[in-house]
Structure 1
Amino acid sequence: MKPFTLERSQILPVSQDEAWRFFSDPANLGNITPPSMEFRLTCQPPKEAHAGMILTYSLRPLFGIRMAWTTEITHLQRPLFFVDEQRFGPYRFWHHQHHFREVDGGVEMHDLVHYLLPAMQFTWLMNRCIVAPRLKRIFDYRRDALQRIFPAG
Protein backbone atom coordinates (compact mmCIF):
# COMPACT_ATOMS: atom_id res chain seq x y z
CA MET A 1 0.00 0.00 0.00
CA LYS A 2 1.18 3.50 -0.83
CA PRO A 3 1.67 5.69 2.28
CA PHE A 4 -0.62 8.63 2.93
CA THR A 5 1.11 12.03 2.86
CA LEU A 6 0.76 15.27 4.78
CA GLU A 7 2.79 18.27 3.69
CA ARG A 8 2.97 21.71 5.30
CA SER A 9 5.16 24.81 5.02
CA GLN A 10 5.31 27.89 7.22
CA ILE A 11 7.59 30.90 7.35
CA LEU A 12 8.76 31.90 10.80
CA PRO A 13 10.28 35.36 11.40
CA VAL A 14 13.40 33.96 13.10
CA SER A 15 16.93 32.93 12.18
CA GLN A 16 17.66 29.40 11.09
CA ASP A 17 19.62 28.84 14.32
CA GLU A 18 16.70 30.03 16.46
CA ALA A 19 14.28 27.78 14.59
CA TRP A 20 16.67 24.86 14.99
CA ARG A 21 17.09 25.47 18.75
CA PHE A 22 13.32 25.46 19.21
CA PHE A 23 12.45 22.43 17.08
CA SER A 24 15.40 20.28 18.12
CA ASP A 25 14.49 20.62 21.82
CA PRO A 26 11.95 17.86 22.62
CA ALA A 27 10.68 19.87 25.61
CA ASN A 28 8.98 22.22 23.12
CA LEU A 29 6.74 19.50 21.64
CA GLY A 30 4.08 20.12 24.26
CA ASN A 31 3.97 23.81 23.31
CA ILE A 32 2.89 23.04 19.74
CA THR A 33 0.55 20.10 20.42
CA PRO A 34 -3.16 20.70 21.02
CA PRO A 35 -3.89 20.66 24.79
CA SER A 36 -6.74 18.21 24.21
CA MET A 37 -4.14 15.59 23.25
CA GLU A 38 -2.55 15.79 26.73
CA PHE A 39 0.98 15.33 25.37
CA ARG A 40 3.45 14.11 28.02
CA LEU A 41 7.11 13.20 27.60
CA THR A 42 7.79 9.97 29.48
CA CYS A 43 11.57 10.15 29.16
CA GLN A 44 14.33 12.60 30.05
CA PRO A 45 15.52 13.80 26.63
CA PRO A 46 18.65 15.84 26.04
CA LYS A 47 18.22 19.55 25.32
CA GLU A 48 18.93 19.05 21.61
CA ALA A 49 18.01 16.22 19.29
CA HIS A 50 20.66 13.93 17.85
CA ALA A 51 20.60 11.01 15.44
CA GLY A 52 19.69 7.84 17.30
CA MET A 53 17.80 9.68 20.04
CA ILE A 54 14.75 7.79 21.31
CA LEU A 55 11.77 9.75 22.63
CA THR A 56 8.91 8.20 24.56
CA TYR A 57 5.69 10.02 25.28
CA SER A 58 2.01 9.51 25.80
CA LEU A 59 -0.89 11.38 24.31
CA ARG A 60 -4.55 11.10 23.42
CA PRO A 61 -4.58 11.30 19.61
CA LEU A 62 -8.11 10.09 18.95
CA PHE A 63 -11.33 9.54 20.90
CA GLY A 64 -9.59 10.47 24.18
CA ILE A 65 -7.72 7.16 24.32
CA ARG A 66 -4.26 7.47 25.91
CA MET A 67 -1.50 5.87 23.84
CA ALA A 68 2.20 5.38 24.28
CA TRP A 69 4.38 6.44 21.38
CA THR A 70 8.10 5.89 20.77
CA THR A 71 9.99 7.74 18.06
CA GLU A 72 13.60 7.77 16.97
CA ILE A 73 15.48 10.65 15.37
CA THR A 74 16.97 8.71 12.48
CA HIS A 75 18.58 11.46 10.41
CA LEU A 76 19.79 14.91 11.38
CA GLN A 77 21.86 17.64 9.77
CA ARG A 78 22.03 20.71 11.95
CA PRO A 79 20.44 23.27 11.18
CA LEU A 80 18.85 21.98 7.96
CA PHE A 81 16.67 18.98 8.79
CA PHE A 82 15.86 16.04 11.00
CA VAL A 83 13.65 13.00 10.61
CA ASP A 84 11.61 11.29 13.31
CA GLU A 85 10.24 7.80 12.76
CA GLN A 86 7.75 5.96 14.92
CA ARG A 87 9.11 2.80 16.46
CA PHE A 88 6.00 1.95 18.52
CA GLY A 89 2.64 3.70 18.44
CA PRO A 90 -0.68 4.08 16.70
CA TYR A 91 0.60 3.98 13.10
CA ARG A 92 1.89 1.06 11.12
CA PHE A 93 4.44 3.49 9.64
CA TRP A 94 5.29 7.13 10.47
CA HIS A 95 8.15 9.06 8.84
CA HIS A 96 8.22 12.81 9.55
CA GLN A 97 10.78 15.06 7.85
CA HIS A 98 11.40 18.55 9.30
CA HIS A 99 13.27 20.90 6.93
CA PHE A 100 14.49 24.44 7.67
CA ARG A 101 15.58 26.84 4.93
CA GLU A 102 16.54 30.51 5.17
CA VAL A 103 14.22 32.74 3.13
CA ASP A 104 13.50 36.47 3.00
CA GLY A 105 11.88 37.35 6.30
CA GLY A 106 13.04 34.32 8.25
CA VAL A 107 13.01 30.56 7.92
CA GLU A 108 10.73 28.33 5.92
CA MET A 109 9.84 25.30 7.97
CA HIS A 110 8.65 22.42 5.79
CA ASP A 111 7.09 19.23 7.12
CA LEU A 112 6.65 16.11 5.07
CA VAL A 113 4.91 13.18 6.74
CA HIS A 114 4.38 9.75 5.23
CA TYR A 115 2.22 7.36 7.24
CA LEU A 116 0.34 4.09 7.06
CA LEU A 117 -2.55 3.07 9.25
CA PRO A 118 -2.91 -0.39 10.74
CA ALA A 119 -4.00 -2.89 8.12
CA MET A 120 -7.78 -3.12 7.98
CA GLN A 121 -10.58 -3.08 5.49
CA PHE A 122 -11.41 0.40 4.17
CA THR A 123 -8.17 1.95 5.45
CA TRP A 124 -8.50 4.70 2.83
CA LEU A 125 -11.95 5.58 4.22
CA MET A 126 -10.68 5.66 7.81
CA ASN A 127 -7.91 8.00 6.68
CA ARG A 128 -10.17 10.23 4.63
CA CYS A 129 -12.92 10.56 7.25
CA ILE A 130 -11.00 10.47 10.54
CA VAL A 131 -7.20 10.42 10.45
CA ALA A 132 -6.36 12.96 7.73
CA PRO A 133 -8.81 15.59 9.09
CA ARG A 134 -7.44 15.01 12.60
CA LEU A 135 -3.85 15.43 11.41
CA LYS A 136 -4.89 18.60 9.58
CA ARG A 137 -6.35 20.02 12.82
CA ILE A 138 -3.20 19.08 14.75
CA PHE A 139 -0.94 20.80 12.21
CA ASP A 140 -3.32 23.80 12.07
CA TYR A 141 -2.96 24.12 15.84
CA ARG A 142 0.79 23.83 15.49
CA ARG A 143 0.83 26.60 12.83
CA ASP A 144 -1.21 28.90 15.08
CA ALA A 145 0.90 28.10 18.15
CA LEU A 146 4.08 28.91 16.23
CA GLN A 147 2.61 32.24 15.13
CA ARG A 148 2.01 33.06 18.82
CA ILE A 149 5.49 31.87 19.90
CA PHE A 150 7.25 33.67 17.01
CA PRO A 151 5.06 36.69 16.21
CA ALA A 152 5.81 38.62 13.01
CA GLY A 153 7.30 42.09 13.29
Structure 2
Amino acid sequence: MELGDSVTWEAKHLGVRQRLSSHITAFERPYFFADEMLTGAFKSFRHEHRFEALAGEATRMTDMFHYTSPLSLLGKLADYLFLKQFRPLLKRK
Protein backbone atom coordinates (compact mmCIF):
# COMPACT_ATOMS: atom_id res chain seq x y z
CA MET A 1 0.00 0.00 0.00
CA GLU A 2 1.00 3.58 -0.51
CA LEU A 3 -0.47 7.07 -0.43
CA GLY A 4 -3.40 7.39 -2.81
CA ASP A 5 -4.26 3.67 -3.02
CA SER A 6 -7.86 2.56 -2.59
CA VAL A 7 -9.20 -0.77 -1.40
CA THR A 8 -12.67 -2.34 -1.47
CA TRP A 9 -13.65 -5.37 0.57
CA GLU A 10 -16.67 -7.17 1.99
CA ALA A 11 -17.20 -7.68 5.68
CA LYS A 12 -19.95 -8.83 7.98
CA HIS A 13 -20.69 -6.39 10.82
CA LEU A 14 -23.50 -7.07 13.31
CA GLY A 15 -24.78 -9.81 11.03
CA VAL A 16 -25.04 -7.55 7.96
CA ARG A 17 -22.77 -8.08 4.94
CA GLN A 18 -21.35 -4.78 3.72
CA ARG A 19 -19.15 -3.69 0.85
CA LEU A 20 -16.68 -1.06 2.09
CA SER A 21 -14.21 1.17 0.24
CA SER A 22 -11.47 3.36 1.66
CA HIS A 23 -8.63 5.53 0.40
CA ILE A 24 -5.12 5.86 1.90
CA THR A 25 -4.91 9.56 2.82
CA ALA A 26 -1.74 9.65 4.93
CA PHE A 27 1.34 7.45 4.77
CA GLU A 28 4.63 7.59 6.67
CA ARG A 29 6.36 4.27 6.11
CA PRO A 30 7.03 2.32 8.31
CA TYR A 31 5.40 4.18 11.22
CA PHE A 32 1.92 5.30 10.19
CA PHE A 33 -0.85 5.25 7.64
CA ALA A 34 -4.47 6.39 7.63
CA ASP A 35 -7.39 5.38 5.48
CA GLU A 36 -10.69 7.20 5.08
CA MET A 37 -14.01 5.73 4.04
CA LEU A 38 -15.20 6.32 0.50
CA THR A 39 -18.31 4.13 0.81
CA GLY A 40 -19.68 2.30 3.82
CA ALA A 41 -22.11 2.40 6.72
CA PHE A 42 -20.79 5.49 8.52
CA LYS A 43 -21.36 9.14 7.64
CA SER A 44 -17.56 9.51 7.87
CA PHE A 45 -14.78 7.19 9.05
CA ARG A 46 -11.01 7.63 9.42
CA HIS A 47 -8.85 4.70 10.56
CA GLU A 48 -5.29 5.45 11.74
CA HIS A 49 -2.65 2.71 12.09
CA ARG A 50 0.52 3.41 14.12
CA PHE A 51 3.44 0.97 14.24
CA GLU A 52 6.11 0.87 16.96
CA ALA A 53 9.16 -1.39 17.05
CA LEU A 54 9.51 -3.27 20.34
CA ALA A 55 12.40 -5.30 21.74
CA GLY A 56 13.47 -8.15 19.49
CA GLU A 57 11.51 -8.41 16.26
CA ALA A 58 8.11 -7.53 17.73
CA THR A 59 5.97 -4.68 16.44
CA ARG A 60 3.04 -3.02 18.19
CA MET A 61 0.20 -1.72 16.03
CA THR A 62 -2.24 0.75 17.55
CA ASP A 63 -5.49 1.58 15.75
CA MET A 64 -7.48 4.76 16.27
CA PHE A 65 -10.91 5.31 14.73
CA HIS A 66 -12.53 8.70 14.12
CA TYR A 67 -16.09 8.46 12.90
CA THR A 68 -19.47 10.12 12.51
CA SER A 69 -22.43 7.77 12.78
CA PRO A 70 -25.27 7.91 10.26
CA LEU A 71 -28.95 8.28 11.18
CA SER A 72 -28.65 11.04 13.84
CA LEU A 73 -30.28 9.79 17.08
CA LEU A 74 -30.49 6.16 15.88
CA GLY A 75 -26.76 6.29 15.10
CA LYS A 76 -26.00 7.58 18.60
CA LEU A 77 -28.09 4.77 20.08
CA ALA A 78 -26.21 2.20 17.97
CA ASP A 79 -22.91 3.75 19.16
CA TYR A 80 -23.96 3.22 22.75
CA LEU A 81 -25.30 -0.32 22.28
CA PHE A 82 -22.70 -1.80 19.93
CA LEU A 83 -19.50 0.26 20.12
CA LYS A 84 -19.18 1.07 23.83
CA GLN A 85 -16.66 -1.74 24.45
CA PHE A 86 -14.36 -0.11 21.86
CA ARG A 87 -14.74 3.41 23.27
CA PRO A 88 -11.04 3.77 24.25
CA LEU A 89 -10.13 3.39 20.53
CA LEU A 90 -12.95 5.44 19.03
CA LYS A 91 -13.44 9.18 18.63
CA ARG A 92 -16.88 10.22 17.48
CA LYS A 93 -17.04 13.54 15.63
CA change 1:132–1:91 in 2 (3 A) is: farther
Letter in 2 for 1:124: K
Identity fraction in percent: 28
Aligned equivalent of 2:66, options 91, 95, 114? 114
Matched, 1:51 2:3: yes
Q: CA deviation at 1:90?
A: 0.7
CA-based RMSD of the aligned residues comes to 1.9
1:39 match? none
**What is the CA-CA distance between 1:122 and the residue it aligns to?**
4.6
Cα shift at 1:76: 0.8
Deviation digits for residues 59-101 of structure 1 (CA, Å, limit 9, x no counterpart) = 1112x22211101111111111110111100111111110112
SS of the equivalent of 1:70 reads strand
TM-score with structure 1 setting the length: 0.50
Of structures 1 and 2, the one with the larger relative CO (CA 8 A, separation 6+) is 1
Q: What number of residue pairs does the alignment pair up?
A: 86
Q: 1:132 and 1:84 mapped to 2: Cα distance?
A: 22
Deviations 1:31-84 (A, max 9, x none): xxxxxxxxxxxxxxxxxx11111101111112x222111011111111111101
Residue 104 (str. 1) matches residue 48 (str. 2): no
Partner SS state of residue 127, structure 1: helix
- After TM superposition, the runs of 4+ consecutive aligned structure 1 residues lying more than 4 A away are none
Give the distance between the partners of 2:74 and 2:10, measured in 1 at CA. 27
Query: Which residue is equivalent to 2:46?
Result: 95
Mapped partners of 2:81, 2:32: distance in 1 = 31
Which entry has the higher C-alpha Rg, 1 or 2?
1
TM-score, scaled relative to structure 2: 0.78
Q: Give, in whole Å, the separation in 1 of the partners of 2:83 and 2:52.
A: 29
Unmatched segments (≥5 aa) in structure 2 = none
